[in-house]
Amino acid sequence: MYDVIILGAGISGLAAARLLHQTGLNVLVLEARDRVGGRTHTLHDPRFGYTDVGGAYVGPTQNRILGLAEELGVETYRVDGFLYSLADIQGSVRRFSGLVPPIYNPIGLLDMNNAIRTLDKMADEIPPEAPWKHSNAEQLDSMTAKELIERMVWAESTRRLLNLFVTTVFCVEAHEISALSVLWVIKCGHGIERIGNIAGGAQERKFIGGAQTISERLADLIGSDRVRLRSPVVTVEEEADGVSVTSEGGETFKGQFAISAVPHAILQKIHFHPPLPALKSQLIQRMPMGSVIKTVTFYQSAFWKERGFSGCSMSDTGTVDYSIDDTKPDGSHPAIMGFIQADKARTMCLDTPEQRMESVCKHYAQIFKMKEFLDPKDYIEKNWMEDTYSGGCYASTFGPGVLTSFGEALRQPVGRIHFAGTELASEWAGYMDGAVQAGERAAHEVLHRLGNTHPNEQELPSPTVAPSTSSDSPWLPGVLPSVDALLGFGGIALAAGLAWFFQSKL
Ligand SMILES: Cc1cc2nc3c(=O)[nH]c(=O)nc-3n(C[C@H](O)[C@H](O)[C@H](O)COP(=O)(O)OP(=O)(O)OC[C@H]3O[C@@H](n4cnc5c(N)ncnc54)[C@H](O)[C@@H]3O)c2cc1C
């Protein structure tokens, strides 16, 4: 009889297990795959050393994952974002530094500035623990992100950049996702600038040795006998005095409580007895994972850096939505990481890896205007859409109406079963940091039910490490007017001028 059985050895399940193990409880983690780490996956090969084909980037304010990494002795390095980035919007390519590509049209500039400022302001009002409790939740949740963007912007360039922001952050098209859920994630990630930037933002750092190292060290800490790989859970049964969890091989384990750290979309593969309550059962049918193929293309040298480019690019019409330099911190294995996302991923998943590689290289050659991109040394990719135990990535998304109708059921325990996983976080939801928060929260819930507390309970849920740098983008001047305000002011000035003119003539 275990105290707690945890389903899933991703960061969230292992963070929960570590906390419970530290308290002296007898835990068992059941993991479906032959490895820990879930949506973080580091490949090792002499061809490229190591490379992350899953979650990888961390940045300031993600203090739970940074603190955990520090405790486990996993170091970070800064991603190269110091040189020029490229934006390819509707086929027009511009270089820039910071968050937003240059907009030379003054109306477009005011419009973009106002859109980011307004989205941040709206997001700031969302309760991170319960976005469905926002005073305007129903209206915001009844529209898609695309509709919200349409209502807000004047310029085509702003519309395209904001749609691309949604695609790169959520791996879906802006018409698929609720405006409320986008604002909630902006709130959870401390604003658009923090989410979008490299320096000072969520892409500032990577882990030396790869992000999966975090889960591997957590598993070592908990004990390999307590983390069972190749054990997909197929049934969870609640009994009078505990839970009974059965894996695909037919082995059954008994515990007092269970924590499910399996992504909600994948919970549909597990049989629950008694069945999940109505709202939970319907919620797990409404949290589809995003669509993404992560690619890493290796070259003989980092020739793009020699020509002043960081390797960071964004493109709304080209093959790769977002790219970033992936050369190792010591300069070895020069590479570019690129995400193929949403509709592009759905179209290109029908191609062969060779065809995708060719398309990715052609895309880089075209936007960077460097033919050397056509001659890769190596190419690796992972199509997360076809991954049995993730079903897509980076995380679940919420279509219109889901948060307001089913949100209450997200973290609600069901009998002796508690729920973790990054989607259930209230800070950096969808990210590795959120996975830690959600895992520790579920562990605390169980501890309380066992009449137990963690010795450092007061400290644990709060950040443990001070972030490295602050955001350094000069963007977002707060004083610039919106296009609406400018037109309003222009209208008033025109009316006053006409009034003065006619008055002086009469
Ligand atoms: C391509 C990609 C890029 C990303 N980029 C970033 C990034 O740069 N920064 C960032 O912070 N985050 C990023 N993420 C997201 C990040 O990886 C996730 O938020 C985080 O790893 C989720 O952790 P988790 O423990 O909540 O879920 P998971 O990692 O999904 O863990 C769930 C575990 O449950 C297991 N499981 C599933 N079904 C069963 C079953 N029936 N029985 C037992 N076990 C089961 C799975 O195998 C898995 O190990 C990215 C993800 C991807 C895929």
3-state DSSP of 80-119: CCCCEEEEEECCEEEEECCCCCCCCCHHHHHHHHHHHHHH
Peptide bond into 389 cis (omega under 30): no
Report yes or no: 235 and 242 within 8 Å, Cβ to Cβ: no
* pLDDT (tens place) for every residue of the chain, 506 residues total: 999 999 999 999 999 999 999 999 999 999 999 999 999 999 999 999 999 999 999 999 999 999 999 999 999 999 988 899 999 998 899 999 888 888 888 888 999 999 999 999 999 999 999 999 999 999 999 999 999 999 999 999 999 999 999 999 999 999 999 999 999 999 999 999 999 999 999 999 999 999 999 999 999 999 999 999 999 999 999 999 999 999 999 999 999 999 999 999 999 999 999 999 999 999 999 999 999 999 999 999 999 999 999 999 999 999 999 999 999 999 999 999 999 999 999 999 999 999 999 999 999 999 999 999 999 999 999 999 999 999 999 999 999 999 999 999 999 999 999 999 999 999 999 999 999 999 999 999 999 999 987 655 544 444 444 444 444 444 455 667 777 776 676 666 666 666 665 566 55
Find the 306 Cα to ligand 1 centroid distance in Å.
Answer: 35
Kind plus residue range of the DSSP H or E element containing 14: helix 11-22
Strand pairing report for 27-30 and 227-228: parallel
Cα-to-centroid distance, 67 and ligand 1 (Å): 19
Write a three-state SS string for 477-494: CCCCCCHHHHHHHHHHHH
- Residues 253, 257: Cα–Cα separation, whole Å: 11
309 three-class SS:
strand
How confident is the model over 345-387, as pLDDT tens digits? 999 999 999 999 999 999 999 999 999 999 999 999 999 999 9
Sheet arrangement for strand 309-315: 92-96, 84-89, 309-315, 322-325, 335-341, 292-298, 378-383
User: Among 443, 440, 484, 434, which Cα is nearest to 460's?
Assistant: 440
CA distance 294 to 393: 10
At 124, list the tokens: 């700031």
Residue position matching structure tokens 């190269």: 80
Nearest to 298 by CA among 333, 324, 325: 333
What is the atom index within ligand 1 of the atom nearest the CA of 292?
Answer: 1
Residue of 204, 158, 97 lying closest to 471 (CA atoms): 204
- Residue 338 CA: distances (Å) to CA of 43, 228, 250, 317: 16, 33, 41, 14
Q: Which of 29, 389, 410 to mutate to test the pocket of ligand 1 (most atoms within 8 A of CB)?
A: 389
The residues with which 238 forms a beta bridge, in sequence order, are 243
- CA-to-CA distance for 180 and 257, rounded, in angstroms? 33
Phi, psi of 311 (to 5 degrees): 100, -5
Residue nearest to atom 50 of ligand 1 (CA): 55
Looking at the CA of residue 433, tell me the nearest atom of ligand 1.
Answer: 11
Number of residues written out for the chain: 506
Q: Got the DSSP string for 352-418?
A: -HHHHHHHHHHHHHHHHT-GGGGS-SEEEEEEGGG-TTTSSSS-B---TTHHHHHGGGSS--BTTEE
Residue 8 alpha carbon, nearest atom of ligand 1: 34
Q: Which residues are within 8 A (CB) of 26 and not within 5 positions of it... i.e. 6 or more apart?
A: 1, 2, 3, 4
Kindly list the protein residues whose Cβ atom lies closer than 6 A to any atom of ligand 1. 7-13, 30-33, 38-40, 54-58, 232-233, 261-263, 266, 269-270, 292, 294, 384, 389-390, 393-395, 421-422, 430-433, 435
Q: State the Cα–Cα distance between residues 178 and 239, nearest whole angstrom.
A: 38
Three-state DSSP class for 143? coil
Domain 76-99+197-207+290-389 in this protein, CATH class: alpha beta
- CATH 3.90.660.10 occupies which residues in the chain? 76-99+197-207+290-389
Nearest CA to ligand 1 atom 2: 54
Could you report how far apart the first and last alpha carbons of the chain are, in Å? 96
User: Tokens standing for 430?
Assistant: 């969808």
* CATH 3.50.50.60 domain position(s) in the chain: 2-75+208-276+414-449
CB distance 14 to 65 below 8 Å: no
**Distance between CA atoms of 436 and 429, rounded to whole angstroms?**
10
Q: What is the DSSP letter of 208?
A: T
Pocket test of ligand 1: the residue of 33, 34, 35, 39 to mutate, having most ligand atoms within 8 Å of its CB, is 39
| CA 13 to centroid of ligand 1, rounded, Å | 10
Selected from 3.40.50.720, 3.40.50.2300, 3.50.50.60, 3.40.50.10320, the CATH number assigned to the domain covering 2-75+208-276+414-449 reads: 3.50.50.60
Q: Rounded to the nearest whole angstrom, what is the distance from the C-alpha of residue 477 to the centroid of ligand 1?
A: 36
Residue 141's alpha-carbon distances to 78, 144, 256, in angstroms, are: 37, 7, 38
